[in-house]
Structure 1
């Protein structure tokens, strides 16, 4: 076991002990951080040690990592289900009985294409009406 691994905290309750042990180690002559004027200098060795420490998520046990993964997957699936439920509410051709995800997606695509066509038809009507209005205004002048 390496020197650094020996002092790593196993949980948050030991973090103060860990920090105190690091302070004690860094006060040894090989980790002296003061210069001849008594000012604090950053030791190159200390920087390397800080970079070598594991991030908090790396301190988790395999069981904790597995539990976190299961929880995040459950949340992801809930969000997907919520998205499909919202599509069922919004798309007129869908009902609560249509639970096939492929069917929901296909009907949603069909509905979006229909809305795009309606939008384009309305834009065309606006252009036609603007042309008629423009011609009527010219005749009035």
Structure 2
């Protein structure tokens, strides 16, 4: 199939995240922003892989470059070696397995070791996030 596409830009407005989820892009990299910027927070809440605040990615990354983005670590790897590419594919599979494992627990009651029941809530950015919060067990 088609290789996943990443958007590399100087900046992306948080409002653009709504359309982003329906676009051909699987993730993005920006020159501007930080972990606590609105765009980064919205991307995380929508489960969009992103690295923000790279300063010069839009100038240094060329069209058709192979790029790995590790949003958790905040790293961008351009034209990775086959070994690095395979390592990140392995990490991606492990992450998917962990998500599946956690998904099985979403309807398990939250109870402390001493038997106290805890009610879980979610902080959502927009109404569309409510469904994901409920599916996650909030």
TM-score range, shorter chain: under 0.3
Q: Which has the larger radius of gyration?
A: 1
Q: Decide which structure has greater strand share.
A: 2
Instruction: Give the TM-score normalised by the residue count of structure 1.
Output: 0.24
Q: Which has the higher helix share?
A: 1
Q: Give the structure, 1 or 2, with the largest relative contact order (CA under 8 Å, sep 6 or more).
A: 2
